[in-house]
Amino acid sequence: MLRPLQHIFDARNFPQVLIGLDGPDDAAVYQLNDEQAIVSTIDFFPPVVDDPYTFGSIAAANALSDVYAMGGEVLFALNLAAFPDDLDRAILSEILRGGAEKVREAGAIITGGHTVSDQEPKYGLAVTGMVHPAYILAKSGAQPGDRLVLTKPLGVGLITTALKREQADPAHVAAAVKSMSLLNRHASHLAQRFEAHACTDITGYGLLGHGLEMTNASQVRFRLRFDEIPLLPGALEYARQEIFPGGLNRNREFVTPHVLFADRLTAAQQAVLFEPETSGGLLIALEPVQARGYVQQAAEDGLAAHIIGEVADGSGISVD
């Protein structure tokens, strides 16, 4: 869709646009001066859980995450909402309340927004943040020898799909909601503190899709260890039952040519790595000593982080 439009804007005419015109990344970055750059992103989607307030909170955390993936802090956000005319407006109020309180938790503010009528509810945010131009975290920059740290477990897409089919264990849903609602703000702060080389957040393209974006941008290869990758309770069981979200097969079709799996890995184990996440964690490339320091500090701060692999010469991804 976008290829016919790629020549409308020539990056050479917009030197202030540090990220946004050349390759895919988590947000656009526009430099204002030597010490300030604007980070801008947008994200919205239909409900992934039944409770309106929880949906609003998750959607907001997901939208804010792209600013954190760039190493920035959120300044303010604008609501984006679509809502059916025949539903109780109190539901929309609860969605917006969930989003507003999550933005407040991030130390930011909602300053307005826009709502349209639609057959299905949708909600998200247009987010504006700030970052120092010298400390931008991007998908490029991963170096051979780096370790890869993941800050949230995988499996949200499988669990929310099981919920939609009324096949999910409530305990599994509760764990997924807790994970999706967690801001990536502190994880981003630690990435800056431990001098991360590259970073992205794991959302719709899954771990392998977003990992592949990092390998392409950094011109390196990722070697992942499946047994070190954290999974939410129930995720692997739903994968064995083939309770797959719609995006999983699209991700698999796109990424498979660039991934080499060990023979021991089952189809269900592979599926967990393809499934789309909502408000997933950060995937961070750090020098080995810094990666170990990151994981230790995260644990002391109550944040689960895991070293799941390493960066090597080459291209694509291997999973052992």
Query: What domains does the chain contain, in order, with CATH numbers?
Result: 3-134 (3.30.1330.10), 138-319 (3.90.650.10)
pTM of the prediction? 0.95
- What pLDDT does 22 receive? 77
- What pLDDT does 54 receive? 98
- Cβ atoms of 304 and 219 within 8 Å: the answer is no
The 10 Å Cβ neighbour count of residue 90 is 9
- What pLDDT does 232 receive? 98
- Cβ atoms of 227 and 150 within 8 Å: the answer is no
Residue with tokens 């070697």: 223
Query: Taking the alpha carbons of 28, 258, 232, 196 in that order, is the dihedral positive or negative?
Result: negative
Instruction: Write out the chain's pLDDT in tens, 320 residues.
Output: 767 777 888 888 899 999 987 777 899 999 999 999 999 999 999 999 999 999 999 999 999 999 999 999 999 999 999 999 999 999 999 999 999 999 999 999 999 999 999 999 999 999 999 999 999 999 999 999 999 999 999 999 999 999 999 999 999 999 999 999 999 999 999 999 999 999 999 999 999 999 999 999 999 999 999 999 999 999 999 999 999 998 999 999 999 999 999 999 999 999 999 999 999 999 999 999 999 999 999 999 999 999 999 999 999 999 99
Structure tokens at 142: 């991963």
Element (H, E) at 73: strand 73-83
Element (H, E) at 236: helix 235-240
Rounded Cα gap, residues 29 and 38, in angstroms: 6
